Amino acid sequence: MSSSSFPSLYVRDGRRRYQPATQDQILEAARQVVDLRMQRGMAFTSPPLVKEYLCAKLAGCEREVFAVLFLDTRHRLLDYAELFHGSIDGAEVHPRVVVREALLRNAAALIAAHNHPSGNPEPSAADRAVTAQLKQALALVDVRLLDHIIVGGHQTIALAERGWI
């Protein structure tokens, strides 16, 4: 199906006139819809639901973003936060910041995630190393790292599914 056969989407400009939406505006609107669907208190109990949520949040980012889902003891969402932003091929992650943010939110568990703007979700050695550091740092304050999910385009890889958590 060609792009010309899709209906156009429109947004209002500053003068309240409708203009064709850009791809960035469409992605931002999609993120807002995801936020409405998965509000505080919603349970993240199935891996496909978590992956769908994170794809919607991170798939369109042009640079690497490291985000965290902060969860309570029943794996209900307390907060979603993008903690680190990087370049097209990396973001520096500081475990002490993740621990601090988990404590501020009184989180019992969390799911870490980041995107690979290249579209290839395959974990790097650095991804595995930061996951091990996060798990160790969080364990010191009794916060469980449930998973680290990498989003590449519309594909995901969960490190827990590979036995690396």
Across the chain, which has 165 residues, the per-10-residue mean pLDDT values are: 56 78 69 58 81 89 94 94 88 96 98 95 95 97 97 94 93
d(CA 93, CA 130): 7
pTM: 0.76
- The residue whose two tokens read 């996060």 is 134
Strands 77-85, 10-12: pairing is unpaired
Give the pLDDT confidence score for residue 3 in this predicted structure.
47
What residue ranges in 45-108 does DSSP mark as E strands?
65-71, 77-85
Q: What is the structure's pLDDT at 2?
A: 44
The three-state secondary structure class of 148 is strand
Is residue 108 within 8 A of residue 73, CB to CB? The reply is yes
> What does the pLDDT read at residue 1?
40
How high is the pLDDT of residue 30?
Answer: 63
Q: What is the pLDDT of residue 43?
A: 78
